[in-house]
Amino acid sequence: MLVPKTAGISEASTSLSLGERRLEALDHAAGLVARAWAEFDQARETEVTPSAQLLDELRAPLPEHGDDVIKGLNDASAVLDASLAQARPRYFAYIGSSGLEVGALADLLAHSYDINLALEAGAASLLEAQAITWLGDFLGYPALTGSFTSGGTVSNLTALAAARERALPRSRANGLSGVRCAVYCSQEAHYSIKRAAEVLGIGRDWVRAIAIDAERRMDPIALAERIDADMREGITPIAVIATAGTTLTGAVDPLNELADVCARSGVWLHVDGAYGLPAAGASATSDLFAGLARADSVTVDCHKWMFVPKACSAVLVRDPRTLSNVFAHDEAYVPHAGEALNAVDITLEYSRPMRALKLWLAFKVHGAAAFRAAIARNCEQARDLYERAGALDGIAVLASGPQLSIVPLRRTVPGCPDENAHNAELCTRLQSDGRVYVSPATIDGEVWLRPCFTNFRTTSDDVHLLLGLIESEGADCSHHG
C-alpha cells in the first residue's frame, strides 16, 4: 500500500495560525504602524537606503521553514522604511497617495474579514452602494450605480466597454467584425485610454487625439469636426473621453461644451477624472467642472486626491443598465434573486476586495468638509508656488497658470546651449538630495519639473523649501547640458 508523502506530519507543524503569538504580533505591528504615522507628520531631511543586511535578506531563497514573526514584521518594516513612500509630505512627483490613517485601518479590517464583493455580501454590499452614492454627492454627479476598482486604468476600461456596447450592440458577443470605430480624447489624455482601446479591440490607432487650446484643454470645435468627418466615412464614434485634470499639467477639459457635441452626435461622454475630479467638490474649483452631471460615466481615483490608500478607484454611471448590458452573465453557479444584480454583473472583476470601506470610513470619520478643505489647500499651495516662481528671474512657468494642483517649472539659464539637459540634471539632483521628490515632464518638447500637490500633510513651508532647492541646486548644475 502506498503511503501519502504527508503522512506523519502533524497538523500543528503545518498550521498557518500565529497561535499564542497572535496578540503579540498584532501589538508589535501596531507599534510599527504608529511609528510610521508619526514619521509622516513631518518630512525627512533625506531618504533611507537599504542596509547591507536588508539587501542580503532580499536576496535569500524561498524559506522552507518559518522564522520568528516579530523578526518578519521588523524586516517588512525595514523594507517599507527604505522605500519611496508617496505619503510623505514632500513627495511632489507624479500624482501621489497620502495613505490616510483611517483608510489604513479600514484596509486592516477589510482584509481581516476578506469579504468578496463579487456577489451579494450582506451589509458590505449595502456599504459599497452607499459609498458610491456619497462619492457622487461629493462630486456633484448623479450616480445611480458604480463600483470600486483597482485603479483608473480598470475604471476607464469599464466605462469604455459600456460605451462600446451601446454604440455597437452585441459587440461583446460578436466582436467588432471589421467595424471601424473610434474614440476621441485630448492629445494630452492619459495613456490608459489607448490601453483600453487596445484591450477592447478598438485599436489604439483609432484613438483620435484632439487638439488643445491655449489652456491645454480639448478643443470642442476640433472635436465636432473630427466626429463629423469620421461619421461621413462610415466610422462609428464609440465615446468622447474628457479629462478632468490632465496628468501633465492639470488641465480640465470644457465639459459642458463637450457634452453639447456629444448630445448632437449621440455619442457617449466619459469623464476621466482619476486625478482632478475631487476638486469638483471644493467651492473654489467647482466651476471648472460645469457640465459634469451630463456625462454618461466618470472615473475618479480616491487613492489620489481623496487621500485614502491604494487601491481605491471608482467608476460611476447615470444608467445602471449600461454596465449590466456589457458585464452580466447568467451562470448556473451565480445566484440571482429575481431581477437583482450582483456586483459581478456590473463589473469587470470577479474577486473583489472591499475597497469601498476605506472611503466610506474616511467620510464617516472626517466628513466631506475636511476633504473639501484639504483639496482647496493643495490648490492654494499650487497657486502660491506659481506666483512665487513667476516672480523670480531664471524660472519659467506656464502662462495659463495652474487650474488645479500641478505647477510645471523650468529653469532658464542665459547662454545655456541645452536647457533641457540642465533641467533634467536639476531633477536628478533634487531626487538625490532627498529632501523633496519631484518628477520631470516633457511639455511641448521641453523638459520641465512637475511638482504636484495631492497630500493633506504638505505645508506651505514644504512648498517654499521646494522653490529654494530648485534655485540652490540649479545654481550647481552644469550650464552646458
- pLDDT tens digit sequence for 202-220: 999 999 999 999 999 999 9
pLDDT of residue 1: 47
pLDDT of residue 3: 47
pLDDT of residue 332: 61
Residue whose grid cell is 452573465: 329
* Residue 460 DSSP label: H
3-state secondary structure of 412: coil
- For 52-72, the DSSP string reads HHHHHHHT----SS---HHHH
Greater model confidence, 331 or 435: 435
pLDDT of residue 479: 62
10 Å Cβ neighbour count for 400? Answer: 13
Q: What is the CATH number of domain 103-365?
A: 3.40.640.10
3-state secondary structure of 353: coil
Region 261-290 average pLDDT: 97
- Alpha carbon 431 to its chain centroid, in Å, reads 22
For residue 5, pLDDT beyond 70:
no
Write out pLDDT tens, residues 95-110.
Answer: 988 999 999 999 999 9
pLDDT of residue 392: 93
pLDDT of residue 98: 92
For residue 42, pLDDT beyond 60:
yes
Give the angle 6-11-13 at the CA atoms, nearest 5°. Answer: 85
Cβ(80)–Cβ(39) below 8 Å:
no
* Residue 151 DSSP label: S
Region 259-269 average pLDDT: 97
Write out pLDDT tens, residues 405-437.
Answer: 999 999 999 888 899 999 999 999 999 888 999
pLDDT of residue 213: 96
Least confident of 142-146, 254-258, 325-329, 388-392: 325-329
Cβ(244)–Cβ(286) below 8 Å:
no
Could you tell me which residues are beta bridge partners of residue 186? 210
